[in-house]
Structure formats: C-alpha cells, structure tokens
C-alpha cells in the first residue's frame, strides 16, 4: 500500500480577462497544474491550494463570500466558496446536495475549517499539541499566524523552539514490495524520522512553479540548463518545484528532487535541513524573486545577483530612482496610495497612463487607463490600494516600440545579450507578445543606445546571472 497522498489541482488564469465566463465545465480552460504530496488528504490539499496561487495561505474561508449558485455551478474559485460555506456552518448533507462532491472529501474539508475555528480561539502562542496538529493538517505558518493574530515570523520561531520541524520522506515507487531508494522527496509533519541523510555540499535550484499565462516552459528550460551545467561542474544538485508537467521535475535531472512549495517557509525548512553550499533563485522567474529578501534576512546563501539588487529591480520606486541617478530616460511616474492622488497625477501628465502594482507575475493587474473612470476600475482590480500596497502609475507612450533585452552578466559585466523587438506596439506583456531577434526595424544608433543602457543597468545592479 502507499503511505502518501497526492492532490493535483489545475490553475485557471481567468482573472486576467475581464469579459470571460468564470464557470468551469467539460471544456479545458486551465493553463497549468500543480501536484502536492502529503501523508493526509488535508495536508496535501492545503499544500496544493498554496501552490496554485502564491497569494493564498491554504483552505481559507475568508477569501470569497458564500454563494449557493457558485456551489451549484463550479467556478475557478469554488474551493474557497466551499470553505466560506463550511465556516458559515453549512452541513455536509446540504453541501453534497449543492455541489455533488463526495462526502468523504467534504468531511476532510470540514476537518480543516473546524480546526481553523479552534485555532482562532487561541491568541498568541499555541501549545505543542495544537501547533503540531495544525502543521499535520497542512496549515502554513501564515495561516496559523492569521488565526491566532500573530505573525508568521513568530510562529516559525515558536515552532523551531519547541522542535516542530518537518521530516523528509521518499516517494516509494514500488508500493513497499521491496526497498526503494529514490531521490523523489517531499516534506511532511506526519512522520517521526527522515528517510535520507543530510551530507551537505548540495546546490539548491528553485523552479518556476505552476505554468501560467506569461510564465511557462521557458523558465523550466533555464532550470534544466542550470542543473545540467552544475552536474558538468561536478556539483550535487537539489531541485525544488511542484509542477508535474516540467522536465525539471524528472527525477533523473538532479540528485534530489523536492516536490514542494516555493514559499519562504518551505524553502527555508529544506535549506536548514540540507545546509547547502548555496541557493539559485534566478532560474525560476518571479516566484523565487518574491522570497529573495526573506531568505536573505535569514542568512541563506543566495548565489548570483544579491537579493538587495533583486529588490532594487523589483521595487519600482527604487529602480526608477536608480535610473534617475544615471540620467537614463523613463516616462513620468509616481508611486501612489490613494485613488484621489492617482487621478490628480494622471490629469497632470495626461492620459493614457499605465497602472502597475509592484511584485506581480507576468503582467497581472497591469492596465492602461484612458480616463478617470478606467483608472477607478483598474485600481480596484489591482487589489485595494493602500500604504502597504501602493501602485506605480506612469505616462503610457502610445505608438511606441517595445524592446526586450535578455542578457547574462558576471559581477555587473555583460557576457552576452540578445535584443528582441516586439512585433506589436508597446502595451502587450512580453509573456503574451510576439518577439523577433535580431531586431528588424531599429537603426544602428538606437540599437547601440539600448546596449549601452543595458550595460549601465547591469553594472548598477551588480548582476550575476541572467536578467531581462
């Protein structure tokens, strides 16, 4: 028999389209999938939900309101409507009647919500038993922190102090018929011992996670190339990724494959167990970049471009200031935290304007506003604008040509670069655009200027590794 449980969930990217039906049926609308492994359904299920959407902390009942029609007719977010319904004390019988989901699954989901409700009665630190059970049911530090009105840093600290840490288990590919030694690993709290030894001297490479519009096989190929090159250099490799469609999750690609979340909590847990020579973030696109600063604060050894430089490039305010210092031209922009200030700025520079939240994946929630009315709609879509979630608004240049430069640098010096020209006018995200290289429609002077700016930016950020 198998001692592990696997949950796969598709990813729908319907939120990127405004006029598309969110209903899901027999036609294929998903753009990617995730695979989570645990020793309990609850554990694997909550892991999978976090893998599909990095902004979700698990089976969270506070993300969607209860709507009976969404329970009857599935949508891409029905799981969270179900969580809200269970929190609103819907019975298993009523939910079965509405959803036709097998009661076995509904009971497991109810276990999660019941335990969350119990956690909410505790404020501050949890006892050893409560915290261990929460982790065994797949609760992330963030969701526990939210329930007990604390923060995930404190939960992690408390967890480490009372020695609640995960165990590494191997996937048994032969269902226990004879001893199986595989490098196919997952971490779980439903165990008492590790299946492997931790010898150190590994290099961790983070994958790109779930495929989505604007981020798919190209990052996986970067990760595979990185693993192969590390092997050629005689280094032992660890891959962390959770996408079953990728080449990087083939077990013969690396020395150890962790089928796990690319979140700070899990990556740091694996880092502390494996004690590697370093961790490479630059092969996985946006997801690893999002956790770069947290890893850096915990003294994880990040190989390649430093997390401080990654933050300077990701944080639009810091990056624009960097360009200003070097007198590199950019459209007028401003970081804003209220709708009124945003309207005032747009009226000053003149519409159209580009609305962009910071740290977003593949152009999500970015829009071009042509009027105050557009602006209001888009700012509501870009998550409620507040002091901790500012948006950057810049003048949008119409009829402009967009150029992408992909380059590799070492210590700020460029080793090679490819300049690509967008076929469409500026405004189409490069993940969705058609690109041509070498550029066909740029004069030599412009091309040289582009290369010069690229060299300056690489030097400013002291880039080591790939950048775009």
Q: Does 316 fall in a domain?
A: no
73 sits in the region (left: phi over 0; alpha: psi -120 to 50; else beta) called beta
pLDDT at residue 185 tops 80: yes
38 pLDDT higher than 80: yes
Q: What is residue 356's predicted lDDT score, i.e. its pLDDT? A: 78
pLDDT band, very low/low/confident/very high, at 244 (cuts 50, 70, 90): confident
The reply to whether 294 and 203 lie within a common domain is yes
Q: Is residue 23 part of a domain?
A: yes
Residue 324 lies in a domain: no
pLDDT higher than threshold 80 for residue 457:
yes
Does an H or E element contain 454, and which?
A: helix 444-461
pLDDT(144) > 80: yes
Identify whether residues 12 and 157 lie together within a single domain: yes
Whether residues 79 and 116 share a domain: the answer is yes
Least confident of 24-33, 64-73, 354-363: 354-363
The closest alpha carbon to 204, from 129, 131, 254, belongs to 254
Distances (CA, A) of 268 to 35, 69, 84, 240: 20, 41, 31, 11
Mean pLDDT taken over the chain = 88
Sign, Cα dihedral of 395, 398, 401, 403: positive
Residue count of the chain:
468
What is the token pair recorded at 445? 């002077």
Give the pLDDT score at 385.
52
Strand 401-410 to strand 391-395: parallel, antiparallel, or no bridges (unpaired)? unpaired
Distance between CA atoms of residues 237 and 80, nearest Å: 37
pTM of the predicted structure, to 2 decimals: 0.88
Q: Per the structure block, which two tokens stand in for 401?
A: 């040509």
Q: Which domain holds residue 448?
A: 401-467
Tens-digit pLDDT profile for residues 50-74: 999 988 999 999 999 999 999 999 9
DSSP state of 125: P
Q: Give the DSSP per-residue string, 74-116.
A: -BTTHHHHHHHHHHTT--HHHHHHHH---HHHHHHHHHHHHHH
**Residue 110 pLDDT more than 90?**
yes
What's 173's domain CATH number? 3.40.50.20
176 and 141 fall within a common domain = no
Same domain assignment for residues 209 and 295: yes
Q: Is residue 299 part of a domain?
A: yes
Which residues face 23 on adjacent strands? 75
The span from the first CA to the last CA of the chain, in angstroms, equals 48
Residue 281 and residue 147 share a domain: no
Q: For 370-395, how does the pLDDT look when each residue is reduced to its tens digit (9 = 90+)?
A: 888 888 887 776 555 545 567 788 88
Q: What is the pLDDT of residue 249?
A: 78
Q: What is the CATH number of the domain that holds 356?
A: 3.30.1490.20
CA 382 to chain centre: 17
Total domains present in the chain: 4
What's the confidence (pLDDT) of residue 125? 78
Average pLDDT over residues 209-238: 89
Give the DSSP H or E segment for 117.
Answer: helix 103-119
Cβ within 8 Å of residue 344, ≥6 positions away: none
User: Is pLDDT of 414 > 70?
Assistant: yes
Looking at residue 389, its pLDDT comes to: 64
Sign of CA dihedral 181, 186, 188, 194: positive
In a shared domain, residues 271 and 356: no
What pLDDT sits at residue 43?
96
b/e 372-393 (16+ beta carbons within 10 angstroms → b): eebbeebbeebeebeeeebbbb
279/366 same-domain check:
no
- Return the pLDDT at 365: 65
Instruction: Determine the Cα–Cα distance for residues 177 and 150; give it in Å rounded to an integer.
Output: 46
Which of residues 191 and 248 earns the better pLDDT score? 191
Residue 377 pLDDT: 81
Six-digit token pair at 195? 């299946």
Decide if pLDDT at 338 tops 90.
no
Q: Are the CB atoms for 33 and 243 separated by under 8 Å?
A: yes
Mean pLDDT computed over 262-275: 95
pLDDT digits (tens, 9 = 90+) for 285-333: 888 988 999 999 999 999 998 989 888 888 777 888 888 888 888 888 8
pLDDT of residue 397 exceeding 60: yes
d(CA 458, CA 462): 6
Contact 344, 327 (CB under 8 A): no
| Residues 9, 157 share a domain | yes
The answer to whether the CB of 52 falls within 8 A of the CB of 11 is yes
Q: How many angstroms separate the CA atoms of 253 and 247, rounded? A: 8
pLDDT tier at 147, thresholds 50, 70, 90? very high
Angstrom distance (rounded) from CA 115 to CA 107: 12
Q: Report the range out of 23-27, 330-334, 443-447 with the highest average pLDDT.
A: 443-447
Q: Is 21 exposed, middle or buried (0-12, 13-18, 19+ CB in 10 A)?
A: exposed
Helix (H) or strand (E) holding 154: helix 152-161
**292 CB neighbour count, 10 Å cutoff:** 24
Closest listed residue to residue 409, CA positions, set 368, 459, 365, 447: 459
In this prediction, residue 235 carries a pLDDT of 94
Cβ-proximal residues to 432 (8 Å cutoff; 6+ apart), any chain: 213, 214, 363
């Amino acid at each position: 028999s198998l001692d592990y449980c696997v949950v796969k969930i598709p990813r729908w990217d319907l939120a990127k389209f405004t006029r598309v039906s969110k209903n899901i049926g027999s036609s294929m609308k998903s753009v990617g999938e995730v695979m989570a492994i645990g020793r309990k359904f609850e554990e694997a299920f909550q892991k999978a939900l976090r893998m599909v959407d990095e902004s979700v902390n698990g089976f969270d009942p506070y993300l969607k309101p209860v709507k009976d029609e969404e329970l009857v007719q599935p949508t891409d977010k029905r799981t969270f409507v179900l969580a809200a319904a269970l929190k609103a004390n819907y019975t298993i019988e009523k939910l079965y009647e509405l959803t036709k989901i097998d009661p076995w699954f509904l009971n497991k989901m109810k276990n999660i919500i019941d335990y969350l409700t119990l956690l909410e009665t505790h404020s501050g630190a949890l006892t050893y038993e409560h915290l261990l059970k929460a982790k065994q049911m797949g609760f992330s530090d963030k969701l526990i922190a939210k329930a007990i009105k604390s923060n995930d840093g404190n939960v992690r600290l408390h967890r480490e102090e009372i020695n609640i840490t995960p165990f590494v288990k191997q996937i048994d590919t032969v269902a226990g018929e004879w001893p199986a030694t595989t490098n196919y690993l997952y971490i779980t709290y439903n165990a008492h011992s590790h299946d492997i030894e931790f010898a150190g001297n590994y290099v961790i490479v983070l994958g790109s996670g779930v495929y989505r519009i604007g981020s798919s096989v190209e990052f996986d190929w970067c990760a595979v190339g990185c693993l192969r090159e590390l092997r050629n250099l005689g280094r032992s490799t660890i891959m962390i990724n959770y996408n079953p469609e990728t080449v990087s999750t083939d077990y013969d690609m690396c020395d150890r494959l962790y089928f796990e979340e690319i979140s700070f909590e899990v990556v740091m847990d694996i880092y502390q167990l494996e004690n590697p020579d370093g961790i490479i973030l630059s092969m996985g696109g946006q997801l690893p970049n999002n956790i770069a600063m947290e890893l850096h604060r915990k003294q994880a050894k990040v190989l390649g471009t430093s997390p401080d430089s990654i933050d300077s490039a990701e944080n639009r305010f810091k990056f624009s200031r960097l360009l200003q210092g070097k007198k590199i031209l950019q459209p007028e922009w401003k970081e804003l935290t209220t709708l009124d200030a945003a309207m005032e700025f747009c009226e000053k520079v003149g519409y159209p304007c580009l609305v962009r939240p910071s740290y977003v994946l593949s152009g999500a929630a970015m829009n071009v506003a042509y009027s105050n009315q557009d602006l209001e709609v888009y700012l509501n879509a870009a998550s409620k604008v507040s002091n901790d979630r500012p948006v950057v608004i810049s003048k949008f240049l119409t009829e402009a040509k967009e150029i992408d430069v992909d380059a590799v640098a070492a210590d700020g010096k460029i080793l090679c670069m490819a300049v690509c020209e967008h076929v469409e006018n500026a405004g189409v995200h490069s993940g969705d655009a058609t690109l041509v290289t070498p550029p066909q429609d740029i004069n030599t002077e412009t091309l040289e200027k582009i290369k010069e700016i690229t060299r300056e930016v690489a030097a400013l950020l002291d880039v080591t590794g790939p950048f775009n």
